[in-house]
Structures are given as structure tokens and as C-alpha cells.
Amino acid sequence: MKILLIEDDTETAAHIVHALREDGHAVEHCSDGMDGLASSRAGEQALLIVDRMLPGLDGLSLVRQLRAEGNQTPVLFLTTMSGLEDRVEGLDGGGDDYLTKPFALKELLARANAITRQRASQKAPREPVRLVVGPLELDLIRRIAKCAGKAIELLPQEFLLLEYLMRNTGSIVTRKMLLEHVWDLHFDPRTSIVETHMSRLRAKIGYAGAMIHTQRGVGYLLDPQLAFSH
């Protein structure tokens, strides 16, 4: 990942840059607060490592300015200011973590990686907990299926079959896809397992079964618009 280090102590900066690059990161270094602010605005960094005591513009003011501008790049503060109030001020000012000098480079690397992992997980799209297609509704947490608000008793494989169809609404799913994703079979068992379960599923969901269209020789298509367009 790309990291911007803003540190005015040349010896400390050299050790940090070397350690980060050895860990596989691309590193840019600024030794002045104003230069660091400009680089932070211009770059697409995954992390800023910022010393609190900097010439030109102190680290806390730098981060506060970035946050005021809407820049949410994660920040790890480095500082000799080890008091509780100093740490609280740094975190309240927009820092994601706070490491006091002297420090071990292994801890710096661990904290840097932890911050970026956490931020990446926050950005990752969340899995839905409920699927709704036409009158059908699936609660993926409690494993409850409903049609027009009424609960439907589905066997586990029938639930998985309906879930896969609903996740792929509007797209044709082949028999091979269903065997792999619903039954975890990566070969053709030469049985009518898919057709049998599909027939049972259609019967159990009642009139909503009209949404499941058989594409002969191709697969199945779940499309509520085709079912209820007339």
C-alpha cells in the first residue's frame, strides 16, 4: 500500500522508510508540515504516519485541516508527547492510532497494517441480511422464507435453491451453476435432483412460482416482471 510519512527527524524517518519498504509498502516522505499537507491532499495514500511536532505546521493541525476538508485517510500519530491528554487530543483531532517514541518498528508495522485492514473492512460491501424479490422474502440470518408476508416451510436445500435464484434475479442460472452453488457438486450426478427440487420449490411458494421460468436447454430465470406483467 502507499504510505505517506511526515517526520522531521531524518534518522527516525530513514529507519521507518526502510522498514515499511521491506514490508512491501510504497513510501513517500515529507519532513515539513506544510509539505506533508500538500502531499496528503495530492496523493491517494492508504495511510498517513504523522509526527506531532513538525516545522511549518504541527501534525495535529495538519490532520485537523485534512479532516475539515473531508479527507478521511487513516492517520497514525508518532510523538514524544506521551501524556493521556496528549493521546486523547490526537485521537479527537482525527487520528486513528497513537504511538509514542521511542517505539519498536515491528509495533509500528503491526499498527499500520491493523489500521488499513480495519478501514478496508469498513469500506467493503456488506452482505445483505434480507433478500426481497416480488412477494418473496428471505431472512438470511434466521433462515426464514415468506411469500406475501406468510411463512413458507422450506427444507435446507430448497432454501439454498431459492436464495441462489433470488441473488441472481434477472439472470439465467444453469443446472451446472445450481449443482455447484446449492449442492456443492462439481460433477453431474446424472440424476434429476435439480428438477425435483425446483418442482417442489415452485409448489411451496404458490403463485410466486410463476416467477421462475424454465429456459429449455439453458437453465432457470427468476423474473417477477415476466410473471406479473399481465
- Cα separation, 194 vs 174, in Å, equals 10
Report yes or no: 26 and 2 within 8 Å, Cβ to Cβ: yes
Report yes or no: 66 and 37 within 8 Å, Cβ to Cβ: yes
Residue 79 scores a pLDDT above 90: no
Q: Please name the residues in contact with 173: beta carbons below 8 A apart, sequence gap of 6 or more.
A: 164, 165, 219, 220, 221
pLDDT at 87: 83
Strand partners, 76: 49, 97
Q: Which single residue is written with the C-alpha cell 440470518?
A: 141
Residue 58 scores a pLDDT above 50: yes
Residue 201 scores a pLDDT above 90: yes
Q: Which single residue is written with the C-alpha cell 497514525?
A: 76
Q: Tens of pLDDT along 107-122?
A: 999 999 888 887 766 6
Q: Tens of pLDDT along 87-105?
A: 888 888 899 899 989 899 9
- The structural domains of the chain, ordered by start, are 2-123 (3.40.50.2300), 130-227 (1.10.10.10)
Q: What is the Cα 18 distance to its own chain's centre?
A: 30
- Cα separation, 116 vs 6, in Å, equals 17
pLDDT at 138: 94
Cis (ω within 30 of 0) for the bond into 102? yes
Give burial (CB, 10 Å; 0-12/13-18/19+) of 9.
middle
